[in-house]
């Protein structure tokens, strides 16, 4: 017996949405654990919206997540002849008719019957032949029911009488999505269709087409729950962060992303949340995926990422942060920064004052310099640091404690003006280690510049 054959079938119309990535992951986990195959099909038949760079982006994002696929990716656009052939087969079998209803007429009829716009259920075979402005529709049965066998949702059943007759070939001669999707799945011998629940309403048409085309044994379905934000709204690219590429650019780690995506609709029986890829392959159960919407919890994803960063070996962390930095990070700062960031993109703003003049953050400046003693702190710190014998975090701290005491300030208050003077901000890695790395000359220069700026 051969293993299951699955496919991930994205449309290249934008960045890879986290919902699509989750679908890719579930397909991948199931295929790998069952010794099956995962094929990749690019559904690039929407000329107005598809772009080649999005196709490349999909490959790149899947590779980054570590989700590989079997064989060459299939381009749906190269299969137009097969789609036309399938349409001809259906026509020859008397399963189609030509229709010249305009969109407006269809929507008006739907409106009059209290149906949503786009409902084509009132088109019927009027004996038209092919011709200008005519599209080919697939005649769905008018009685009986169509049952979807879904590993997650049981057996959603659709009354055939309310299934509209989908257009399968446009008046331009081009196959519609629903036909291309079915024909490709038949030809690719797909056994399991794992995809978002937004496709469930068209699945009965898919099944009817599959049967009409003599596709053989029907695939099993798993319609995955939609992703929602904290307001229980469907994730939207206008409102929410949804692009895998964006998470990558912000410095989320791929293994964290995979771990988090896996939990969007599924959890291991013991409720563990942190799982390696190997554990996911072993423990994931497609049949245990929930049908209710999954909350995409950014705070939780961030927490996973921060935990994972802190658990890394410092060398690995420095290596991982490399692409976000203009130069190597001083080894003395690595563990200090590592403890304080949640994403890799946060590293650069935290340490950029080391190699470049600090950009003074006005809010930090106003707050730190508000105390009357700020000017004295800067002056006395500069004097003390000038006189220091050994330039080390511990001695730098001791000296500033003494400066504070001389002005009746605790260390926290004495430190604030120094930190902003030297780093430009009120938050960052520990101050004295930073000064140690920065060196005496630069530190003194910045303290004096800040004193001058204070007037
Ligand atoms: N191309 C469709 C999409 O990106 C997927 C269709 C399917 O998986 O059957 O939503």
The arrangement of strands across the sheet holding 5-8 comes to 74-75, 37-42, 5-8, 192-196, 220-224
Q: What is the DSSP string of 303-350?
A: HHHHHHHHTS-HHHHHHHHGGG-SSPPPTTTHHHHHTT-SSGGGHHHH
Nearest to 352 by CA among 264, 278, 437, 294: 437
How far apart, in whole angstroms, are the C-alpha atoms of residue 263 and residue 154?
Answer: 21
The pLDDT, as a whole number, for residue 2 is 82
**What's the rounded mean pLDDT across residues 315-330?**
95
Q: Which of 5, 28, 43, 209 to mutate to test the pocket of ligand 1 (most atoms within 8 A of CB)?
A: 43
Tens digits of residue pLDDT in 26-64: 999 999 999 999 999 999 988 889 899 999 999 999 999
Query: Which uninterrupted H or E stretch holds 103?
Result: helix 103-112
Exposed / middle / buried, residue 112 (Cβ in 10 Å: 0-12, 13-18, 19+): exposed
- Ligand 1 atom 3: the closest Cα is on which residue? 10
Q: Which atom of ligand 1 is nearest to the CA of 185?
A: 9
Q: Which two tokens stand for residue 231?
A: 């307001």
Residue 69 to residues 19, 358, 425: CA-CA distances in angstroms?
Answer: 18, 47, 46
Question: Tell me, what's the pLDDT at 291?
Answer: 97
Helix, strand, coil percentages (3-state) for the chain, rounded to 5, are 50, 10, 40
State the average pLDDT over residues 189-208: 97
- CA 290 to CA 294: how far, in whole Å? 8
- How much is the CA Rg of the chain, to the nearest whole Å? 31
Helix (H, G, I), strand (E, B) or coil at 217: coil
181 C-beta closer than 6 A to ligand 1 = yes
Q: Dihedral of the CA atoms 18, 33, 284, 231 (nearest 10)?
A: 10
Ligand 1 pocket, residue 195 CB under 6 Å = yes
Residue bearing the CA closest to ligand 1, atom 2: 10
> How many residues are listed for the chain in this entry?
455
The lowest-confidence range among 53-57, 105-109, 162-166, 308-312 is 105-109
192 lines ligand 1 (CB under 6 A): no
> Using a 6 Å cutoff on CB, does residue 367 contact ligand 1?
no
Q: Tens digit of pLDDT for each residue in 405-446?
A: 999 999 999 999 999 999 999 989 999 999 999 999 999 999
What pLDDT is recorded for position 236?
A: 87
| Nearest CA owner, ligand 1 atom 4 | 10
Active site amino acids: 237
43 lines ligand 1 (CB under 6 A): yes
* Pairwise CA distance, residues 36 & 34, whole Å: 5
E strand or H helix that includes residue 135? strand 135-138
pLDDT > 90? residue 103: no
Q: Is 199 in the pocket of ligand 1 (CB under 6 A)?
A: yes
Question: How far away, in angstroms, is 43 Cα from ligand 1 center?
Answer: 7
| pLDDT, tens only, 240-277 | 889 999 999 999 999 999 999 999 999 999 999 999 99
More confident residue, 117 or 80: 80
- Looking at the DSSP bridge assignments, the partners of residue 295 are 228
Region 301-314: what's the mean pLDDT?
A: 98
pLDDT band at 1 (very low <50, low <70, confident <90, very high): low
Ligand 1 centroid, distance to 373 Cα (angstroms): 65
Q: Rounded to two decimals, what is the model's pTM?
A: 0.93
| Percent residues over pLDDT 90 in the chain | 91
């Amino acid at each position: 017996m051969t293993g299951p054959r699955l496919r991930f079938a994205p449309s290249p119309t934008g960045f890879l949405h986290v919902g699509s990535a989750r679908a890719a992951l579930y397909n991948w986990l199931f295929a790998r654990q069952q010794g099956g195959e995962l094929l990749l099909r690019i559904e690039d038949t929407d000329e107005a919206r598809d772009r080649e760079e999005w196709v490349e982006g999909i490959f790149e994002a899947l590779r980054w997540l570590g989700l590989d696929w079997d064989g060459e990716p299939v381009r749906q656009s190269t299969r137009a002849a097969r789609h036309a052939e399938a349409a001809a087969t259906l026509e020859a079998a008397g399963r189609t008719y030509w229709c010249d209803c305009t969109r407006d007429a269809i929507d008006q009829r739907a409106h009059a019957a209290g149906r949503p716009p786009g409902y084509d259920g009132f088109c019927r075979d009027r004996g038209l032949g092919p011709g200008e402005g005519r599209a080919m529709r697939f005649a769905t049965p008018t009685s009986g029911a169509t049952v979807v066998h879904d590993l997650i949702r049981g057996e959603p059943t659709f009354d055939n009488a309310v299934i509209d007759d989908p257009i399968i070939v446009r008046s331009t001669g081009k196959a519609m999505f629903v036909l291309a999707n079915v024909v490709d799945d038949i030809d690719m011998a797909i056994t399991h269709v794992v995809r978002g629940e937004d496709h469930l309403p068209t699945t009965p048409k898919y099944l009817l087409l599959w049967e009409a085309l003599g596709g053989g044994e029907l695939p099993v379905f798993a319609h995955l729950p939609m992703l929602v934000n904290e307001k229980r709204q469907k994730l939207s690219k206008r409102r929410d962060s949804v692009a895998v590429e964006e998470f990558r650019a912000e410095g989320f780690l791929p293994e964290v992303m995979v771990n988090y995506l896996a939990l969007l609709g599924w959890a291991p029986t013991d409720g563990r949340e942190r799982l390696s890829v190997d554990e996911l392959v072993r423990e994931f159960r497609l049949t245990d995926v929930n049908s209710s919407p999954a909350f995409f919890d950014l705070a939780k994803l961030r927490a996973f990422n921060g935990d994972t960063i802190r658990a890394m070996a410092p060398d690995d962390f420095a290596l991982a942060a490399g692409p976000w930095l203009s130069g190597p990070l001083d080894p003395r700062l690595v563990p200090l920064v590592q403890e304080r960031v949640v994403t890799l993109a946060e590293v650069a703003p935290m340490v950029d004052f080391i190699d470049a003049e600090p950009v003074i953050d006005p809010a930090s400046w106003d707050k730190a310099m508000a105390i009357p003693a700020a000017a004295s702190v800067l002056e006395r710190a500069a004097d003390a640091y000038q006189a220091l014998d050994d330039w080390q975090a511990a001695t730098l701290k001791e000296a500033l404690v003494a400066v504070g005491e001389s002005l009746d300030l605790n260390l926290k208050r004495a430190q604030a003006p120094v930190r902003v003077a030297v780093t430009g901000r009120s938050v960052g890695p520990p101050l004295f280690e930073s000064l140690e790395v920065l060196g005496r000359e630069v530190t003194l220069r910045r303290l004096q510049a800040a004193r001058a700026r204070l007037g």
